[in-house]
Amino acid sequence: MTNAVADDREFTFSADDYAFLAKLLKEKTGIDLGPSKQNMVYARLAKRLRKLHIPSFRAYCDFIASPEGIDELGATLNALTTNLTKFFRENHHFEHLAGQALSEIRTRSTTQGRRLRIWSAGCSSGEEPYSIAITLRQSMPDLAQWDAKILATDIDTEMVRRGNEGVYSTESAEGVPADIRDKCFEPHGPGKVRVRQELRQLIAFKHLNLMSHWPMKGPFDLIFCRNVVIYFDKDTQRVLFDRYANLLVPGGFLYIGHSENLFGITERFKLLGRNIHRKIA
């Protein structure tokens, strides 16, 4: 595969078009596509060109670079993010939350009050923050007496909308243990379920670009940022993890994805194992 994509496709897509889109994505989101994702970019954006009756990638690039293309630029970013997720993905993190993390938070609450703040950063369509909410419900019989809030953010506006709606296929809801599924979901038409209101009310879904200004002050007891930075270069990760450390309480926990690590990125966390990190500085 060379940089130029074959001309027999429906839309012409040159190496320059790819370079433009890859640079734009990196600048706007931190996502670094590298040199070889032309086919993925073509497949994901060809749908947009078709929908808008735009004849070539060159014309599409010109459009999103123009003031009139500002809304479409959002759609471009939505199309180019990878949103793969599922309920209780990397379940050991939820076990750690239910065990050590909540135990320490309870101990702290005797002097600092019953306040609990968790951030799911890069929450995709909501399965991660709902898994957090379900874990809290299951592990904290006195949850109603806590000021507990989960913030769930993503750059992809469509993912934020879906997370907020909380509607999933019955198949994906099977990621939630069978014995508690009925407590978590209510039927929502054929083949669909909706997360119950008592869980939905624990979460605020917001559109947020991790590369931009963050309006929240924190501090957070825990941050989940899993399978997000895998697409960022090391310098971008360095800045991001420093910002996370600034927003965590002393001793707070950071969970990252199975193929991510903080080696050579930051010394403000101590690895406890299985990609669970404690803020130490």
Ligand X SMILES: C[S@@+](CC[C@H](N)C(=O)[O-])C[C@H]1O[C@@H](n2cnc3c(N)ncnc32)[C@H](O)[C@@H]1O
Q: Which residues bind ligand X (CB under 6 A)?
A: 29-31, 81-85, 89, 122-124, 128, 154-156, 159, 208-211, 226-228, 257
Output the smallest distance, CB 212 to ligand X, in A: 8
- Active site (annotated) includes residue 154: yes
**Residue 86 CB, nearest approach to ligand X (Å):** 7
Dist. CA 46–CA 164, nearest whole Å: 28
The one-character DSSP state at 6 is P
Are the C-beta atoms of 237 and 210 separated by less than 8 Å?
no
Residue 55 CB, nearest approach to ligand X (Å): 28
**Tokens in use for 225?**
């940022």
Out of 17, 154, 156, 221, the active site residue is 154
| Beta carbon of residue 107, minimum distance to ligand X (angstroms, whole number) | 28
Closest CA to 248 of 91, 93, 92, 121: 121
Active-site position among 44, 108, 161, 194: 44
Each as own residue / partner, the long-range contacts of residues 141-148 (CB below 8 Å, 24 or more positions apart, any chain) are 145/114, 146/109, 146/114, 146/115, 146/116, 147/113, 147/114, 147/115, 147/116, 148/115, 148/116, 148/117, 148/202
* Longest pairwise C-alpha distance within the chain: 68
Minimum Å gap between C-beta 7 and ligand X is 31
CB 98 within 8 Å of CB 135:
yes
Taking the C-alpha atoms of residue 93 and residue 29, their distance in angstroms, rounded to an integer, is 26
Instruction: Tell me, yes or no, if 108 is annotated catalytic.
Output: no
Closest to ligand X by CB, 129 or 252: 129
Catalogue the active-site residues.
44, 154
